[in-house]
Chain A
């Protein structure tokens, strides 16, 4: 007959069920033997970084090679994307075959340091005092430093000069929230879209919200403060008044930038990494610092990678590793990294002077980086990711209209407090 037999049905069911089991399991468990093998060769050093866009023939890859040659070893470089890198690093740490060097996104440093995977810079005898305090803070946990920033980037407001001129807005007049609001209204009156930013429900959403949050005087340990509510109220009012598009709720920073490049938007909140793209835009652009609520420059969150050294079983390897780290972090090395990427601001005062001598137009970015603040600073460390998740959820709730800003933040504080253990 046409009916499949009972056993065939049971088999189909069993197979389907097992495939579901396998899928959910591989979403959380490492497949055995999946991590990269350690370099057995004493002269080959492994290096992981989050720059898959730079392939083996890129200037960045050559720079890494050169540092290896100077240390007398060969570097084998592997690139992952940012989130995958943290997971890969945790897996490698579990298997006991971590690479010699990892370039880590700064909020991940405290996570791996807390896992006991990273060597401190003290153990290496590397001097960390010459690095900007606000930048290296993201690599500190309980008074120890676990990495060195190879550069930093941060956020500012890019503007479309053509639109601002047409609307009669002088970018220099933007000093606080009130003057920014007035500028946005003028742009709207001139028939253009005033501003775009990224309020997506991921770390990027929190990253973009923090300048406003900190600029109002908010603290990450107290998400339900009146200051925090003011910052969220500001974003909320932009959406309500039609100053920002509703799609900011699903915009990543890249999407936001694409929107800005259409030439329809007056302002876009975006980062140092878009400098080259802004220069190539079909209209003249400029930047202003993100203003704090009552004037002055708001602290912006730092982005950028730290060079870290995972703990190795064979301590002899550290000698060459130290040379590699030094090569990447000398003032000349920092400037070279900065120019290789075209978006990195060096993390020492000396390096910043040197890059300004080469590229004077980076001045506002150097200033922005100097006033920037690490997300995991204030010894938040591994608590930050939990707090950040609560924060971006609150932003999403408020902007989508499912809760008032103050209520959304109250929930967020309760959730964050619970997640970090009271």
Chain B
């Protein structure tokens, strides 16, 4: 799987490279070409293909710490996957992952798009304001996640202090099973808006102003201009933004880990958190099930990617 995707990048990434060398050209030319290609190939093998291979290898063996050190793990085939899929925690984690990911990307996209359209009008100070919206992106995650968890603290958090001013009682944002997932999702949406804003804003620059002028002459109002021009012409950019958002959000570990550790109990544990916890969250590393969960995540992202490519191709041909 890794190899085919790697090839796809290497070849389809540069269609112009298809020009074949003139026949009778000296062999050394080909060697030179290979030599130029070698760093890229080595890089891809070492940093992409090997880790992926290793991840699959970990997941089909039983790597206890002992087996890990001794290098003699028992081959267990798909047992790790079976154990993961039949675990009670799996369905809960899958559900949490789905809610976390879908709600995150939907709202990130909607808010990012709204802001992008808003800033496109280029009013005074819009550049400054736009820059300020990028702050969540610039802050180290440990800082923003810790800040969120302070703000949402049950007893001393500023959010609860604010609500108290309106006579609303204490809400245990991060420590009650009903709200923990919601809280980390809100924090993640805040983190993801800048990314969506930047990409969609760039996409908006590519829509010719003449279309808006023509629409204006035809008497289209702002609402119609958005739904008839902006949104349809932005579709390819939107699609790739959503796909990237999906992949980034599926693998989010840090913000949830810092805010709730996936808790209370498993209330905010996503598949990525589950994988991380198995491998590094306890006193005893359990690499095999962790790798199995990680591979399932890759499969989910892969499926979403295939769907994306398929939809694009269909649209391209129609």
Chain A: residues with CB nearer than 8 A to chain B?
A: 2-4, 6-18, 20-29, 31-32, 83, 86-87, 90, 93-94, 107-108, 111-112, 114-117, 200-203, 245-247, 249-250, 382, 384-386, 388-389, 393, 396-397, 399-403, 408
Q: Is the CB of A201 within 8 A of B264?
A: yes
With CB as the reference atom, state the residue of chain A lying closest to B263: A201
Interface segment out of the listed B6-14, B27-35, B117-125 = B6-14
Interface stretch of the complex, out of B98-106, B128-136, B168-176, B187-195: B168-176
Contact B243 A7 (CB under 8 A): no
- Cβ-Cβ contact count across A and B, 8 Å cutoff: 215
- Residues of B in contact with A (beta carbons under 8 Å apart): 2, 5-6, 8-9, 12-13, 15, 46-48, 50-52, 54-55, 58, 65-66, 68-71, 149, 153-156, 170, 172, 174-177, 203, 206-207, 233, 236, 240, 243-244, 247, 250-251, 253, 260-267, 272, 275-276, 279-285, 287, 290-291, 294-295, 297-298, 301-302, 305, 308-309, 312-313, 316
- Pick the contact of A249 from B8, B244, B263, B302 — CB < 8 Å? B263
Contact of A112 with B65 at beta-carbon distance under 8 Å, contacts A32-B50, A250-B260 already known: yes
- Contact indicator A116/B70 (Cβ below 8 Å): yes
Cβ–Cβ contact A22 & B48, under 8 A:
yes
CB distance from A170 to the nearest CB of B (A): 28
Closest partner residue, chain B, to A16 (CB atom): B247
Contact of B305 among A13, A23, A250 (CB under 8 A): A13
A17–B301 CB distance below 8 A: yes
Say whether B13 contacts A20, CB under 8 Å. Answer: no
User: Given A16-B247, A396-B263, are A83 and B316 also a contact pair (CB < 8 Å)?
Assistant: no
Report chain B residues within 8 Å CB of A202.
261, 281
On whether the beta carbons of B175 and A250 are closer than 8 Å, the reply is yes
- 14 intermolecular pairs with C-beta atoms under 8 Å apart: A3-B236, A9-B308, A14-B6, A16-B243, A21-B51, A22-B52, A24-B251, A201-B263, A249-B172, A250-B175, A385-B284, A400-B176, A400-B265, A402-B264
By Cβ-Cβ distance, the 4 closest A-B pairs, closest first, are A25-B51, A400-B264, A385-B283, A24-B294
State whether A397 touches B8 (Cβ < 8 A): no
Contact among A2, A28, A386, A402 for B284, CB-based, below 8 A:
A386
- B312 pairs with A9, CB closer than 8 A: yes
A246 & B263 in contact (Cβ 8 Å cutoff): no
Question: How far, in whole Å, are A234 and B264 apart by their CA atoms in the complex?
Answer: 18
Give CA–CA (A386, B316) in the complex, Å.
53
CA distance A396 to B265 in the complex (A): 5
Q: Report the Cα distance A90→B63, complex, angstroms.
A: 12
Complex CA gap A16/B301 in Å reads 9
Taken together as a complex, chains A and B put the C-alpha atoms of A13 and B309 apart, in Å, by 8
Judge whether A90 and B65 touch: CB under 8 Å.
Answer: yes
- Bound state CA distance, A7 and B18, in angstroms? 13
Known: A24-B294, A114-B66, A202-B261. A247 touches B154 (CB 8 A): yes
Shortest beta-carbon distance from B32 to chain A in Å: 25
Q: How far is the CB of B305 from chain A (nearest CB, A)?
A: 5
List of A residues within 8 angstroms of B280 by Cβ: 27, 83, 87
Taken together as a complex, chains A and B put the C-alpha atoms of A393 and B66 apart, in Å, by: 26
Contacts A22-B52, A25-B51, A249-B264 aside, 5 further interface pairs with beta carbons under 8 A come to A10-B12, A14-B8, A17-B302, A114-B65, A250-B153
A111 to B64, CA, bound (A): 10
Q: Which residues of A contact B51 (CB under 8 A)?
A: 21-22, 25-26, 29, 31
Decide if B264 touches A246 in the complex (CB within 8 Å).
Answer: no
Q: Give the residue among B175, B243, B266, B298 with the most A Cβ atoms within 10 A.
A: B175
- The 8 Å CB contact of A115, one of B69, B233, B253, is B69
- CB contact between A18 and one of B2, B13, B275 (< 8 Å): that residue: B2
B281, A18: Cβ atoms closer than 8 Å: no
The reply to whether B5 and A14 contact each other, CB–CB distance below 8 Å, is: yes
Q: Which residues of A contact B260 (CB under 8 A)?
A: 201, 250
Which residues of B lie under 8 Å from residue A13 when comparing CB positions? 240, 243, 305, 308-309
In the complex, the answer to whether B54 meets A18 with C-beta atoms within 8 Å is no
